[in-house]
Structure 1
Amino acid sequence: MNSWQRVVTESKQSLLQITNRVRVNSVKGFLSLVLVGMSLSLAIAACSGNSSNSATDNPSANKKRDVEVTLVSFAVTRSAHDAIIPKFAQKWKQEHNQNVRFNQAYGGSGSQTRAVIDGLEADIVHLALALDTKKIEKAGLIEPGWEKEVPNNAVVSRSVAALITRPGNPKGIKTWTDLAKPDIKVITADPKTSGVARWNFLALWNSAIKPGGGEDKALDFVTTVYSNVPILTKDAREATDAFAKQGQGDVLINYENEVILAQQKGGKVNYVVPDVNISIDNPIAVVDKNVDKHGNREVAEAFVEYLFTPEAQQEFAKAGFRPVEVVAQNKEVLKEVADRYPKVNNLGTVQDYGGWDKVQKQFFEDGAVFDQIQSKIRR
């Protein structure tokens, strides 16, 4: 029997002896019992404190319970996150003596958005466009103002639009204006169903606006380009398959990072990055309702912050994404990888057109600009 157990046992025996000797309904007896009870409580508390101190001497006693985090992202970020997550987990372990396990789910940004809204309990979402994140916000899962909680309006990875051509570029496609030529067949997905295709549409519209054209000129140009689209696929993957596997079209509009990733896997891809382009911005957000439910907000927010560090941005660069410049140190990352990315001198953003809420309403809702364009085209 150790010392604190002896103290507790002796105190209990004293209490029993007093109980047997005194009548509780007398004032003296009542006070005696109270005093003994207080002595017993103090003895137990003091001895318990000594026990805690001895546990502190054992490092394993301070180890926190493991924590799980669920990350839901769009497909082409997988290689970057697979490299980033182990680095973050090691850092967190060193600083907090706690293991972090990540559950990961990848797919099309639109389908991932629907899955989270329908019940996939993501703690963090990294999606292709802020419009998808906004949908999760409107479903009540993310608190408004998430864009301001981290750097760069929450844009953690970015790319630009690229024009992928046939080997040797037999049609001589170099700029957006080439897509309006009558003998060019353009492959892209339907912006009504594909997030990537919304970026493609905005890149085309921006290419007419940025050099000084008005909305009428942009409408005419984009209408001409879409009249050269033989089929609108459901999503970006189907568009790529139609171009690469089925041999349809002369040019495919796609993300630059997809092209770089394909080259890293051994593919030979002919492509052009137009000098007038759109910044394809991919936001990150903590899913407030789920992290509060899971009790893992601290680690989820720390991971999101970590994604903006040079270490994480280097991994995004390896996966074909252009590093974000918001963190001063990331400018060094940009210098290191500058030769991978053609310089874009005239880069537009979705903010130039009022943000995604306005863009969605103006271009992609039923009866909006894209539907008007389609009504003019006979396929």
Structure 2
Amino acid sequence: MSLWQHQRLRLNSLKSFLSLFLVGAFLSLALTACTGGRESSSTSGKKQNIDLTLVSFAVTRDAYKAIIPKFVKKWKQEQGQNVTFKQSYGGSGSQTRAVIDGLQADIVHLALALDTEKIEKAGLIQPGWEKEIPNNAVASKSVAALVTREGNPKGIKTWADLDKDGVKLITADPKTSGVARWNFLALWNSAIKTGGDEVKATEFVSKVYNNVPILTKDAREATDAFFKQGQADALINYENEIVLAQEKGLKVNYVIPDVNISIDNPVAVVDKNVDKHGNREVAEAFVKYLFTPEAQLEFAKVGFRPVDENVAKTKEFADKYPPVKTLATVQELGGWDAMQEKFFNDGALFDQIQAKKR
């Protein structure tokens, strides 16, 4: 091969290399332009789209219809991330079992601390969760309401009227519903606070539950059984569920008994799941958002008593939620562990009452 031919061959090889290099560079630039945000998102280590799963008790659904879109908009404006919520609503006890059995909840908002503690004991929530959240983690609260038929033909005015012969009552099942456990405690507390001892209280709640023709799965089903199906003479339910029924146009006759119990509903981040899903930051931000005046306003609109003092003091809600004369807490009664063992465990007082029903 001549020197000239050899140099020509080297020149052609160099041209081919430069051509391939330029094509590769162009494709690289084009790919970067097409992926745009995804590339920068990966570089910053921040996901552009985040999923959160909220598991809550049935009667919070209407509040979250308003709260979640507001939080999603706020987070997008402040953090530039799109948050998509998966939601599950049902009886608090049933929801608790579902999370323990594998429902991938990132956040739980349940009817009572006992249910959250069960998830903690299953190893999904770290101990001390209630101390890391405002207001001891209580994001919503209510009291027990006593609902009657129009004109109140059975003359039901207080808890004591519910054990009369001929009176039929609707309430949910304490085995599946957190609301129903609060209802049971409201009845028990009323007997104790009006001068009865535990023997009298047991006799009273036994008579009341003898007057319950059907135990529904949760608070929403109890409301439907009373209003839509026309069952029974009275209904015990959350005040918020009754207020919401009124907001939807139902005419409701109800009283808030002077002797009552504070129904406190805690929220918690499910640590094991958020760490697995990589969404702890947004999950914790959402939980904190629930205590803001903006979110508390939405809870109050659908019947929950605000935990934010400024919202509670507004004329609209101060008139809507008057103070209760004698308001007990579960802590005063001995705490949830004691209440569960005494009343709701298998073979405890509630099961004994059901076994003896006529």
Q: Same fold (TM over 0.5)?
A: yes
Partner of 1:346: 326
Partner of 1:150: 133
Partner of 1:367: 347
Which segment drifts farther, 129-138 or 97-106? 97-106
Which segment drifts farther, 111-120 or 356-365? 111-120
CA distance in 2, matches of 1:360, 1:64: 42
Partner of 1:52: none
- The match for 2:283 among 295, 300, 306 is 300
- The match for 1:167 among 141, 146, 150 is 150
- The match for 2:61 among 78, 81, 85 is 78
Aligned residues of 1:72 and 1:125 also touching (Cα < 8 A): yes
Partner of 1:213: 196
Cα distance, 1:274–1:236 mapped onto 2, change above 3 Å: same
Letter aligned with residue 54 of structure 2: L
State the 1:79 CA deviation: 1.8
Letter aligned with residue 374 of structure 1: Q
Partner of 1:131: 114
CA distance in 2, matches of 1:94, 1:221: 55
The answer to whether the aligner puts 1:258 opposite 2:238 as a matched pair is: no
Letter aligned with residue 149 of structure 1: E
State the 1:376 CA deviation: 4.2
Matches of residues 182-197 of structure 1 in structure 2 within 5 Å? 182-197=165-180
Cα distance, 1:231–1:151 mapped onto 2, change above 3 Å: same
Cα distance, 1:341–1:89 mapped onto 2, change above 3 Å: same
Aligned residues of 1:80 and 1:315 also touching (Cα < 8 A): yes
State the 1:293 CA deviation: 0.8
Can you list the C-alpha shifts for 1:117-150, whole angstroms capped at 9, x where unaligned?
A: 2222111111112222122112211111111111
Q: Aligned Cα RMSD in Å?
A: 2.5
The answer to whether the aligner puts 1:230 opposite 2:213 as a matched pair is: yes
State the 1:237 CA deviation: 4.1
Can you list the C-alpha shifts for 1:187-215, whole angstroms capped at 9, x where unaligned?
A: 22332333221111100001112234322
Partner of 2:15: none
Aligned residues of 1:71 and 1:122 also touching (Cα < 8 A): yes
Letter aligned with residue 104 of structure 1: Q
Aligned residues of 2:91 and 2:176 also touching (Cα < 8 A): no
Partner of 1:48: none
Q: Highest CA radius of gyration, 1 or 2?
A: 1
Cα distance, 1:111–1:267 mapped onto 2, change above 3 Å: same
State the 1:299 CA deviation: 1.2
Partner of 2:90: 107
Can you list the C-alpha shifts for 1:64-104, whole angstroms capped at 9, x where unaligned?
A: 52222211112221221121122222322333233322222
Aligned residues of 1:256 and 1:320 also touching (Cα < 8 A): yes
Structure 2 residue matching 1:125: 3-state secondary structure: strand
Aligned residues of 2:94 and 2:177 also touching (Cα < 8 A): no
Which runs of no fewer than 5 residues in structure 1 stay unpaired?
1-54
Letter aligned with residue 170 of structure 2: I
Matches of residues 37-56 of structure 1 in structure 2 within 5 Å? none
Can you list the C-alpha shifts for 1:172-200, whole angstroms capped at 9, x where unaligned?
A: 21111111222322222332333221111
CA distance in 1, matches of 2:226, 2:162: 15
Which runs of no fewer than 5 residues in structure 2 stay unpaired?
1-35
CA distance in 2, matches of 1:338, 1:232: 33
Can you list the C-alpha shifts for 1:205-263, whole angstroms capped at 9, x where unaligned?
A: 01112234322222222122223223434443443343334433211111111111111
Equivalent pairs, count = 320
Cα distance, 1:337–1:229 mapped onto 2, change above 3 Å: same
CA distance in 2, matches of 1:239, 1:67: 35
Letter aligned with residue 226 of structure 1: Y
CA distance in 1, matches of 2:47, 2:140: 32
Q: TM-score, normalised by structure 1?
A: 0.78
Q: TM-score, normalised by structure 2?
A: 0.82
Cα distance, 1:190–1:331 mapped onto 2, change above 3 Å: closer
Structure 1 residue matching 2:174: 3-state secondary structure: coil
Partner of 1:247: 230
CA distance in 2, matches of 1:234, 1:291: 29
CA distance in 1, matches of 2:176, 2:284: 31
CA distance in 2, matches of 1:278, 1:266: 27
State the 1:267 CA deviation: 1.3
Aligned residues of 2:240 and 2:303 also touching (Cα < 8 A): yes
Cα distance, 1:324–1:315 mapped onto 2, change above 3 Å: same
